[in-house]
Chains A and B, each alone.
Chain A
Amino acid sequence: DQQVKQNSPSLSVQEGRISILNCDYTNSMFDYFLWYKKYPAEGPTFLISISSIKDKNEDGRFTVFLNKSAKHLSLHIVPSQPGDSAVYFCAASARRDDMRFGAGTRLTVKP
């Protein structure tokens, strides 16, 4: 049962433009949401997170938006850079130690 879904397996954008990665979840008990970035041959690394008490969290070029009523979150990268090309995983947690991940979206930023 996929509780966290990333319906777009891939996304391609031009350098300098905005990248928007989407994620949907089904479990209303999730109260903490995260985005991880993964380069080839490496493990995922934490990128940004948001608590369910907020609807937006910003860190430099990265902003995560949370819409609890729609059970939807998105990651915005502005401006996109070629070094942002990676697989991005959305994750959600209902308790401190346990995360459920989506299938990932491969982002390609073209120079």
Chain B
Amino acid sequence: DAGVIQSPRHEVTEMGQEVTLRCKPISGHNSLFWYRQTMMRGLELLIYFNNNVPIDDSGMPEDRFSAKMPNASFSTLKIQPSEPRDSAVYFCASSPTGGRPDTQYFGPGTRLTVL
């Protein structure tokens, strides 16, 4: 099993540019989560999907952030326009539907730097 796949692993962009982060969950997992890790706030849940439907997006910081899950094997997190304060590591995680939280498996993360 390849695990959760995230791309790119590193992204450096300039303020104002659009950034798209990608995630491929583990096959057969029906729940997908996007997290952001910063030094100050640790790991924050941004949004999660169940069966491709967004369930809770209350963690999305601003309208500049949007997430989609067009099918069970792919999700994107988009930031437009990006700002320096968006610099962080973004993690995607997946779990089986109805699974306990300890069944969430995390990807390796995307380190985003906005100059």
**Per-residue CB proximity of A85-105 to B under 8 Å, as 1/0?**
000010101001111111110
Contacts of A91 in B (CB 8 A): 43, 101
A45 touches which of B39, B41, B103, B106 (Cβ 8 Å) = B106
Using a Cβ–Cβ cut-off of 8 Å, how many residues does chain A contribute to the interface with B?
23
For A93, list chain B residues within 8 Å (CB): 101
18 contacts between A and B (CB under 8 A): A6-B42, A34-B101, A41-B108, A41-B109, A43-B91, A43-B105, A43-B108, A43-B109, A44-B91, A46-B104, A49-B100, A89-B42, A89-B43, A91-B43, A97-B33, A98-B101, A101-B44, A104-B42
Taking beta carbons and an 8 Å cutoff, which residues of B are in contact with A?
4, 31, 33, 35, 39-45, 48, 50, 55-56, 91, 93, 95, 98-109
Cα–Cα distance between A32 and B104 once the two chains are bound (Å): 14
Given A43-B4, A97-B31 in contact, is the A49-B42 Cβ separation under 8 Å? no
B38, closest chain A residue (CB): A103
**A96 contacts across to B, CB distance below 8 A:** 98-101
Contact call B42/A46, Cβ cutoff below 8 A: no
B interface footprint on A62-83 (CB within 8 Å = 1, 0 otherwise)? 0000000000000000000000
A31–B11 CA distance with the chains assembled, in angstroms: 37
Is A98 a contact partner of B48 (Cβ separation < 8 A)?
Answer: yes
- Is B95 a contact partner of A97 (Cβ separation < 8 A)? yes
Tell me, in angstroms, the Cα distance from A44 to B101 when the chains sit together. Answer: 13
CB-based nearest A residue for B91: A43
The 8 closest A-B pairs by CB, nearest first: A43-B106, A103-B42, A101-B43, A93-B101, A99-B101, A49-B102, A46-B102, A104-B42
A32–B33 alpha-carbon span in the complex (Å): 18
- B55 to chain A: which residues have CB within 8 Å? 97
